Amino acid sequence: MNAIITATELADDLAGPNPPVLLDVRWQLSVAKAAGEPPFDGRAEYAAGHIPGAVFVDLDRELASAPGAHGRHPLPDLAEFGAAMRRAGVSPGRRVVVYDGGQGWAAARAWWLLRWTGHPDVRVLDGGLPAWEGALSQVEPTPEEGDFRPVAGAEGLLDAAAAAALARSGVLLDARAAERYRGDVEPIDRVGGHIPGAVSAPTNENVGADGRFLPAEQLRARFDALGAHNGAKVGVYCGSGVSGAHEVLALAVAEVPAALYVGSWSEWSSDPSRPVAVGPDPQ
């Protein structure tokens, strides 16, 4: 099953007899802003205009638990996540399409969580809201309660120890910007650098200038050059398990299964006893 959907395909599906559940997950990484600049408000963006029928999902509150020892975006409590998804109308027998403001990271986080917890048919709108050419709505729908019950997957999730082991025995991709991987800068977490043995693979190199994924064959060639090919054990991490989900999605487009270290660098770097590598090489 294709993990992404085009805007044209989505428009056709929404006009059909069995439209998908549509989730709007607009979100931006919280970083220091200029004085007087308000923080990003995904719900306000949603209220100002969304794809008709879409339900807003709050990444920080519904797709993650509170920041702490396990990182800035730890896994959500599954009971609370399930309740949020049911309120949005999610059921296992109905397709789900997720979109965000165009970056794709937040939508990919929702995609990954739903897939990891057992939903069989979830896709991300390629290019996000900017790819949508139809009308927007300011009407907030009241969907019928869904019956999705999330169950933690047996595979597809890494903790810190498993990520470190995979960096030695398989392929662990670091989806952050190359300068953060090298340790040149670190705008958010305690220290810069990367997990020893991890390979730099910035997720923004998986998309074109329009924010849409590169063709599957190009993605396969890219990941193959990094050692992440079908048959290898592959894992991904990022800053806090959001952009890493986007890289897992890109790998899925390339038909390469991969696991996600949700705690990512925000968890790894919080413990001074864990080793840190710097520079352009995995080490």
Q: Which residue has the tokens 């165009």?
A: 102
- Are the beta carbons of 236 and 251 closer than 8 angstroms? yes
Q: Which of the 8 DSSP states describes residue 143?
A: P
Residue type, 246: H
Q: Which of the 8 DSSP states describes residue 66?
A: -
Helix (H) or strand (E) holding 82: helix 78-87
* Calpha distance 186→270 (Å, rounded): 13
Which of 88, 107, 238, 250 is catalytic? The answer is 238
Rounded (10°) angle between helices 216-225 and 243-253: 110
- Give the residue among 128, 118, 58, 61 at the shortest CA–CA distance from 97: 128
Angle (nearest 5°) at CA 128 between 124 and 134: 110
Catalytic residue flag (residue 238): yes
Residue type, 184: D
Neighbours of 152 (CB within 10 A): 11
- Are the beta carbons of 83 and 111 closer than 8 angstroms? no
- Residues contacting residue 248 through CB under 8 Å, at least 6 positions apart: 108, 112, 236, 258, 259, 260
Is the Cα torsion angle 163, 168, 169, 170 positive or negative in sign?
positive
* Calpha distance 184→194 (Å, rounded): 11
- Give the residue among 244, 224, 231 at the shortest CA–CA distance from 174: 244
Residue type, 174: D
- Please list the active-site residues: 238
